[in-house]
Amino acid sequence: MQDTSFAIHPGKKKEIKGTDFQDIGNVLSFSEQNGVFMIKCEHGYVHVTFYTNSIVRVVMNPDTEPSLTTSPAVIKEREPVSYTVNKGKEEVVVATENMTLTVRKSPLRISITDKEGLTLVNESEKGLGSNAAGEVVCFKNMHQHDHYYGFGEKTGFLDKKGNQLTMWNSDVYAPHNPETDPLYQSIPFFMTLRDDLAFGIFFDNTGKTHFDMREEDDTYSFRGESGQLDYYVFAGPTMKDTLTQYTALTGNMPLPPKWALGYHQSRYSYETEEEVRELVHNFLEKGIPVDAIYLDIHYMDGYRVFTFDKNRFPNPKKLLQDLRDQGIRVVPIVDPGVKEDSEYSIYQEGVTQDRFCKYIEGTIYFGDVWPGNSAFPDFTNRDVRKWWGEKHRFYSDLGIEGIWNDMNEPAVFNETKTMDTKVMHENDGDPKTHRELHNIYGLLMGEATYEGMKRQLKGKRTFLLTRAGYAGVQRYGSVWTGDNRSFWEHLQMAIPMCMNLGMSGVAFCGPDVGGFAHDATGQLLARWTQFGTFTPYFRNHSALDAARQEPWSFGENIEEIVKNYIQLRYVWMPELYRLFKEAHESGIPVMRPLVLEYPTDKHTFNLSDQFMIGDNVIIAPVMTPDTEHRVVYLPEGSWVNYWTEEVLEGGHHHLIYAGLETLPIFVKQNTAIAHGAIKSTTEVKEENYQIHLYKGKEGKVVYRIYEDDGQTFDYEQGKVYENELTFHYSSDKLELTTNRTGTYEPDWESFTLVIHGDDDLTQIMIDGKDVTKLAEAKAGKYIVPLSI
Ligand code: GLC
């Protein structure tokens, strides 16, 4: 039914807040076994255990002793942790090196402080419990200065204080508005920034969960409609530490193949071989770099996964090989729905080998998706994941190295938009309903796909793009933000959405550039491509009936701008790749909100229209039509306009000119960044590798160049090129010392040092050698050729 005022009928209010909460009550007993503290209360059971000195897990079950089995999000084992226990009459205090947990007994209340004694979480009025609907609930005190970041893929501004958020993977084709929630991904993790302290909470519950971060009661809460109350607290004390702790628990992003960081072109759909060839021809002829072309659902025979339509794609092997010879990869879409068709081998195998999701009575669940009536593999079963992974030989044998998983919420064309929640999942021997496991369906499909492709590519890195996921999705794939629209508002929304994905462990993410549904305009495409140049994932994608939005779709002027920015992506590739390596190791995202670097600057707390690449570069896209100026906030320090070299003082808002051809970029003084010049990641030789140093008056900069072969896992064995460059400089002297490590030989044999800053250098020394004579002074810069 179309919504009317009936939607706000008073009879629809589900509960009078606070009336049906059953508090867990007083502690009846407290015991300890193998590092697990077991607390029995009047109305439930709680187990507490430390994973590390800085990560504690609390599990509450209102009915029975809690199970300590984790969801598949968690891959870290508990580390041995030393702690002391102090048992008092009123409370028990357990302390590790980095956090102290106080368990108050009457009634049970848990509070956690960090090693400085600062409170991370505390419960006062209310604590843990359940409600009349059978949900598990947890209340925590909210502080006036709290700001909340993370929660995965959400619309709205950066700081989630004041919001209610739901986690239930959902296919949402309707416009993504500020109140459109939930979307495709569920990442029930968030960080609190309170003054200069940060810490995190991960509510590991694979069913539908809700977070209430509204400000009314000085409390926030989270609850799960099924399962246990199972949450982890990460001690921080910074947001970066918290992210590292969270990704240690749920896994790090593997280093993607370099081609996956290039520009990708997609459309729903490039429908025939000729169309794909013509598309590629256009890119090559126009000199616009492109690393991957996507095949949406029309490549298949009647939308049957693991097939090609023989008429439209008569010789996929040859097509793929020809494209590969031109440096372009093809990424096909693979949805979970398997067409019900007794003559289709995947369906036959699925039925005869018992691979599909079923009702408890044993009948297969069918849902309507693109191929019509379809069955869905039960990815919660290890053998099914293996089977599905193996099926990808169909693609890998053709030379395909990347897969696009869509509709894996799973989406079904029915009222509820998904699978019947009564369906049972095998869940590796611990059967549970779809209601309880819905949010991990996409994650496990991702695991099956990633692991299968990885095995088949024999040492080459694979690439996965996935629409749905759960905490830990970063282990397998990159995430795009689903079916946005070609609205300026959706360009605006993509910035905080991607920043919060990054603050939820998903460093590799991006929106459909240009917008998926609705019609892009030239201006919108130009501005969106400028933004996309700096999103970790960079793909232009649009829907069937939407205006075409390939780079040349809006005339020469727009084509030129779009081309320049796609090329700029490759210029920045060495810097981006270095940041991907950092994200792979530490979980700290490539694309960052300013608050991550300036957590005490109040102007950054909810700054949603600018972002950073790494720790010293600010990108401030223009996101309204016919706009040639915008306000940019620069935090403390001096910042150099990337295009004009003008130095601007931080701690201020500046009005910046940004005609349609200009994306405002600012580099902080006292920073080095690497640049390249190749136009595609597969072109072999990088001949113009550059290190740009943005000097201040005097200072020290340490910068680590990172390169490897970009396609294998040899980097894990130290086959890397790392060079730690240490610059010491004053207004007239500069000294650089290099420290190269690793066994990888990059394509380039030399690089150029470009020194920005308009003062007169009288001496440039490199590793003790005077190279002043080699330096060429040019437009306020010094250019120095160097060998590596
Ligand atoms: C879904 C995807 C979209 C894709 C379409 C057809 O809407 O989100 O990206 O193009 O399905 O496969």
* Interval 486-509: pLDDT, tens: 999 999 999 999 999 999 999 999
User: Angle at CA 591, nearest 5°, toward 743 and 511?
Assistant: 115
Q: pLDDT tens, 99-151?
A: 999 999 999 999 999 999 999 999 988 999 999 999 999 999 999 999 999 99
What gap in Å lies between CA 547 and CA 531, rounded to an integer?
Answer: 20
User: What is the tens place of the pLDDT at every residue in 511-547?
Assistant: 999 999 999 999 999 999 999 999 999 999 999 999 9
242 and 137 in one domain? yes
Q: Are the beta carbons of 509 and 539 closer than 8 angstroms?
A: no
- Residue 268 Cα to ligand 1 midpoint, Å, equals 7
| Confidence check: pLDDT of 1 > 50 | no
**Nearest atom of ligand 1 to the alpha carbon of 482:** 8
Position 697 in a domain: no
Domain that holds residue 246: 18-250
Considering the domain architecture, whether residues 122 and 223 belong to the same structural domain is answered as yes
Task: State yes or no: pLDDT of 683 exceeds 70.
Answer: no
End-of-domain residue from the set 558, 586, 614: 586
Structure confidence at residue 748 (pLDDT): 85
The reply to whether the predicted model has a pTM over 0.75 is: yes
List, for residues 596-641, the tens digit of each pLDDT value: 999 999 999 999 999 999 999 999 999 999 999 999 999 999 999 9
Residue 762 in any domain: the answer is no
- Which residues pair with residue 777 across a beta bridge? 782
State which ligand 1 atom lies nearest to the alpha carbon of 296: 12
- What does the DSSP 8-state code read for residue 483? S
Question: What average pLDDT does range 676-692 have in this prediction?
Answer: 79
Q: Show the ligand 1 pocket: residues with CB < 6 angstroms.
A: 268, 296-297, 333, 406, 467, 482-483, 516, 541
pLDDT bucket at 88, cuts 50 / 70 / 90: very high
**Number of domains forming the structure of the chain:** 2
Confidence of residue 6 (pLDDT cuts 50, 70, 90): confident
Q: Give per-residue pLDDT as tens, 37-51.
A: 999 999 999 999 999
Asked if residue 224 and residue 155 are part of one domain, the reply reads yes
237 and 319 fall within a common domain = no
136 and 206 part of one domain: yes
**H/E stretch holding 451:** helix 441-456
CA dihedral 461, 462, 467, 470 (to 10 degrees): -50
Distance (angstroms) between ligand 1 centre and the Cα of 483 equals: 7
Kindly tell me if the per-residue pLDDT of 16 is higher than 90. Answer: no
**531 and 558 housed in the same domain:** yes
Whether 651 maps to a domain, the answer reads no
Q: What is the pLDDT of residues 266-281, one digit of tens each?
A: 999 999 999 999 999 9
Domain match, 225 and 279 both: no
Helix or strand (DSSP H, E) at 528: helix 522-532
> Residue 788: what pLDDT?
67
Tens of pLDDT along 692-707?
999 999 999 999 999 9
Residue 563: which CATH number?
A: 3.20.20.80
Q: Is 393 within the bounds of a domain?
A: yes
The answer to whether the beta carbons of residues 536 and 478 sit under 8 Å apart is yes
- Average pLDDT estimate for 197-205: 98
DSSP 284: H
Of the candidates 39, 24, 148, the one whose C-alpha atom is nearest the C-alpha of residue 102 is 39
Do residues 274 and 245 share a domain? no
Whether residues 38 and 93 share a domain: the answer is yes
By three-state DSSP, how is residue 111 classified? Answer: strand
CB 59 within 8 A of CB 66: yes
- Which of 183, 294, 296 best tests ligand 1's pocket when mutated (most atoms within 8 Å of CB)? 296
**pLDDT confidence of residue 607:** 98
Q: What is the CATH number of the domain that holds 171?
A: 2.60.40.1760
Is 60 exceeded by the pLDDT of residue 256?
yes
